[in-house]
A = this chain, B = another copy of it.
Amino acid sequence: MDRRAKIKDIALRAGVSPATVSRALSDSGLVAEPTLSRIREAAQSLDYRPNVRARNLRTQKSMAVLLVVRDVSNPFYLEIFKGVEATAREAGYSVLMGNTENHPDRELEYFDMLRDGHADGMVLMNGRLPSSHARDAEQLARLPIVVALEIIEGCPLPHVQIDNAASAYGAVKHLLSLGHRRIAHICGPVPEVMSVLRREGYRKAMAEAGLAVPEGYEPIGDYTIPSGAELCRQLFSRPDKPTALFVANDEMAFGAINELRKLGLDVPGDVSVVGFDDLFLSECFYPPLTTVSQPRADIGKQAMKQLLRVMNGDDSVEALVEMPTTLKIRGSTGPAKTSDN
């Protein structure tokens, strides 16, 4: 007996029809007791396992979801993976990794996978839609997709995100409260929404404090370490050097801090730095980075939860779930030197 037992085999052994076996094994409650346990025993003794491919065809489901990111090797996603994976598992879904590398072709590919039945739903963290899909809002809204982390403007799909502007605002407020006045902002790749929003928060806090943002105080980076270093160097070659930096993500903040060290400037003695994201390692960096912490695992969980609702046709889907951030005040920020005020 080498081949896998199928439902038919167990029907034969239990002396019932395949249909009954199917019903018994799916806990439908439609099978009576003497039969039920007979079937279960037969299944057990034959070491039966349902063939998912057959089931998938019949039910037109895959019990899998697609988790699409720009770059699987970005550490930022790690805990989101975990959150999504945990929630998906619980509901019986498995998770397919999608990696777009910011290629429009690949972005489209995952939409196709959805269409083709590779997966039943998708958590999209890609920040944009394939152009072919962006047009028709009606049709788009019907797709089983939840947008997480990133924000796609004017997109009718449910979103799970943080309040980027408010979080940035809070971070800058913190610097202000420490007495800083010359606060520069190393910005993300505008015009991406997320970067724009974080910059907005910065501007709002500055404006409220009655501070003008000097020309060139908002250089634009690309979220990478070298970019943070480079822009920091630029900023500190100015006559009006900042005493504090609000950096749009932690990686650029790392780059900036290392650059400051090279310039002989102490953090936070000479310059305070606030990041955004709270990466693994931001805490054990030296100095420990003050940063806006996103509840990444929860974002993953929420996104998957929403997606489950979408896939179940549950109408309690929320168009927008906003997750709270917290400013983690650590060692990279300190009071402004009084001479600098």
Could you tell me which A residues sit within 8 Å of B by CB distance?
A: 49-54, 56-57, 60, 62, 64, 67, 71-75, 78-79, 81-82, 85-86, 89, 94-97, 99, 112-113, 115-118, 225, 254-255, 258, 261, 279-281, 284-286, 297
Contacts and interface: CB of A to CB of B under 8 A. Distances in A.
Contact of A82 (B50, B73, B79, B286): B73
A322 to B, nearest CB: 23
Contact of A78 (B54, B73, B79, B95): B73
Contact of A286 (B49, B86, B95, B258): B258
A130 to B, nearest CB: 15
Contact of A97 (B54, B74, B85): B85
B72 A75 contact: no
Contact of A49 (B51, B78, B79, B116): B116
A59 to B, nearest CB: 9
Nearest to A106: B89
Among A67, A78, A89, A279, max chain B CB count under 10 A is at A78
Contacts of A280: 73, 75
A79 B73 contact: yes
Given A73-B79, A94-B118, A286-B261, A53 B49 contact: no
Nearest to A67: B97
A202 B259 CA distance: 35
A69 to B, nearest CB: 10
Contacts of A51: 116-117
Contacts of A54: 57
A81 B52 CA distance: 25
A102 B144 CA distance: 32
Contacts of A255: 284
The 5 tightest CB contacts between A and B, nearest first, are: A73-B78, A73-B82, A53-B57, A57-B57, A286-B286
Given A57-B57, A258-B286, A74 B81 contact: no
Nearest to A261: B286
B284 A52 contact: no
Contacts of A115: 49
A64 B57 CA distance: 16
Contacts of A75: 75, 78, 280-281
